[in-house]
């Protein structure tokens, strides 16, 4: 089966549902035992599979099984948001006095979780420069380094990392690797094939694709999955039934949506690459991108999210003028849905910031690309 067919077929069970195509929404805390013996078996369970709404439902089983097959891994745990898939994974793997290495081009709330919450567990962190060759990581590794957290492409600046090289260093030092794969999704990259141990995907983005839910997925092999599931359960973090239903529904059209977003973003990125106010297009699938070769080797495609660095650093007032001229692009967090968005990342929190001009992050949705280009062209006139 090819990917489009898999997305169409996986997790469908119409024979068990009186012929209805889609798995119905199961809501609930209590699940009734059908015998006393099953109850006795359940109370002695050590595998976090206790019969309770918090632990699993037919819908969570359905989505988790589908994603497991799509990543070709042994286990998937669904949780309440992309961010909780990251925090649960950290909490599952780390203990007091551990050290972690994390890319500096990180999704800001992940950095906030580390700096505000993980530090309370006496866990130390070094943010590494994603643009330096991975061999530089060796110098940062300590005796207590437990994991390396990769986000490729990185948030806002879209630098691509040489994941197989990072994995080589990690394996040599017995360090776990985790990749946030939300940008490419399982459609355009499988970090397990690059050697990574644990993959995070925010289903909030392309899997759902309609900006109406939050949901996160943690994919791993058996070595880690029990601990991850037990941590999610211990903190009382699960995935909601409507969120699961909409994620499963999103899978059916995901390929078409991500392909269209990709196409729109590439056309707009190429247009902006020739714009006189733009210094650099931060899009790994554009040939002028400094990591284009690595992207081409490790990814099968690109999504709708990229950035531009302007030749100048604009004031907030100038950026407001630009934004006020936009008629189609809207201002809002997140991405991966059908609507086109811009944001203005500041990069102030970074350890290393080599960017001199203003950065504009762009998400291309599913509108007509001609309208998106005209909108951007018109708004950029405000920055002359
Ligand atoms: C790269 C990346 N990872 C994770 C997340 C978190 O996902 P969620 O919004 O579902 O918490 C985001 C959200 O924007 C993101 O950009």
- Ligand 1 mean position to 218 CA, how many Å? 13
Check residue 213 and give its pLDDT. Answer: 98
My answer on whether 270 and 154 are in the same domain is no
pLDDT digit string (tens) for 242-280?
Answer: 999 999 999 999 999 999 999 999 999 999 999 999 999
Beta strands in the chain (DSSP E): 75-79, 99-103, 124-128, 145-151, 176-180, 198-202, 216-220, 278-282, 305-310, 330-331, 341-343, 359-363
My answer on whether 240 and 308 are in the same domain is no
Q: Whose CA is nearest to atom 15 of ligand 1?
A: 107
Q: Which atom of ligand 1 is nearest to the CA of 183?
A: 1
Question: Could you tell me the CATH number of the domain that includes residue 311?
Answer: 3.90.1150.10
User: How buried is 215 (Cβ within 10 angstroms: 0-12 exposed, 13-18 middle, 19+ buried)?
Assistant: buried
Tokens of 193: 């094939």
pLDDT at residue 384 tops 90: no
Main-chain dihedrals φ then ψ at residue 372, nearest 5 degrees: -65, -40
pLDDT digit string (tens) for 110-145?
Answer: 999 999 999 999 999 999 999 999 999 999 999 999
My answer on whether 174 and 284 are in the same domain is no
CB 60 within 8 A of CB 216: no
Q: Which atom of ligand 1 is nearest to the CA of 333?
A: 14
Q: Which atom of ligand 1 is nearest to the CA of 86?
A: 4
My answer on whether 49 and 185 are in the same domain is yes
My answer on whether 74 and 200 are in the same domain is yes
- Ligand 1 mean position to 32 CA, how many Å? 36
Q: List the domain range (segments joined by +) for residue 177.
A: 3-249
Final residue belonging to a domain, choices 195, 218, 249: 249
Q: Does the global pTM surpass 0.95?
A: yes
- Ligand 1 mean position to 214 CA, how many Å? 9
CB 10 within 8 A of CB 251: yes
Check residue 48 and give its pLDDT. Answer: 62
My answer on whether 214 and 303 are in the same domain is no
My answer on whether 261 and 219 are in the same domain is no
My answer on whether 204 and 299 are in the same domain is no
Final residue belonging to a domain, choices 249, 266, 282: 249
My answer on whether 263 and 192 are in the same domain is no
- Ligand 1 mean position to 181 CA, how many Å? 10
My answer on whether 127 and 35 are in the same domain is yes
Band (pLDDT 50/70/90 cuts) for residue 47 is: low
My answer on whether 53 and 182 are in the same domain is yes
My answer on whether 352 and 278 are in the same domain is yes
Q: Whose CA is nearest to atom 9 of ligand 1?
A: 82
User: In the structure, which protein residues have their CB atom closer than 6 angstroms to any atom of ligand 1?
Assistant: 81-83, 107, 151, 155, 180, 182, 202, 204, 214, 216, 334
Question: Could you tell me the CATH number of the domain that includes residue 78?
Answer: 3.40.640.10
């Amino acid at each position: 089966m090819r990917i489009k067919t898999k997305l169409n077929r996986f997790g469908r069970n119409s024979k068990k549902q009186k012929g209805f195509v889609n798995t119905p929404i199961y809501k609930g805390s209590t699940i009734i035992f059908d015998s006393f013996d099953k109850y006795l078996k359940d109370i002695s369970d050590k595998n976090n599979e206790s019969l309770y709404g918090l632990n699993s439902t037919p819908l969570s089983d359905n989505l988790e099984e589908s994603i497991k097959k799509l990543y070709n891994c042994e286990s998937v745990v669904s949780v309440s948001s992309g961010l909780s898939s990251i925090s649960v994974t950290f909490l599952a793997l780390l203990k007091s006095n551990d050290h972690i290495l994390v890319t500096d081009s990180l999704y800001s709330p992940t950095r906030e979780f580390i700096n505000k919450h993980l530090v309370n567990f006496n866990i130390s962190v070094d943010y590494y420069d994603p643009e330096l060759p991975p061999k530089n990581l060796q110098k940062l590794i300590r005796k207590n380094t437990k994991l390396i957290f990769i986000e490729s492409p990185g948030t806002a600046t879209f630098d691509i990392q040489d994941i197989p090289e990072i994995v080589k260093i990690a394996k040599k030092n017995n360090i776990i690797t985790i990749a946030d794969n939300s940008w490419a999704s399982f459609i355009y990259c499988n970090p397990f094939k690059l050697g990574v141990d644990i993959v995070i995907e925010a289903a909030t983005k392309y899997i759902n694709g309609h900006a109406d839910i939050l949901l996160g997925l943690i994919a791993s092999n058996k070595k880690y999955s029990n601990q991850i599931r037990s941590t999610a359960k211990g903190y009382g973090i699960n995935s909601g039934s409507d969120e699961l239903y909409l994620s499963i529904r999103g899978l059916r059209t995901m390929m078409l949506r991500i392909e269209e977003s990709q196409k729109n973003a590439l056309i707009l990125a190429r247009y902006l690459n020739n714009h006189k106010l733009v210094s650099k297009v931060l899009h790994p699938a554009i040939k002028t991108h400094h990591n284009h070769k690595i992207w081409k080797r490790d990814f099968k495609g690109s999504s709708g999210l990229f950035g531009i660095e302007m030749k100048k650093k604009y004031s907030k007032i100038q950026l407001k003028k630009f934004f006020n001229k936009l008629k189609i692009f809207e201002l809002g967090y997140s991405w991966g849905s059908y609507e086109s968005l811009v944001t203005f990342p500041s990069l102030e929190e970074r350890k290393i910031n080599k960017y001199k001009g203003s950065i504009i992050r762009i998400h291309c949705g599913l509108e007509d690309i001609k309208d998106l280009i005209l909108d951007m062209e018109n708004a950029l006139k405000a920055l002359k």
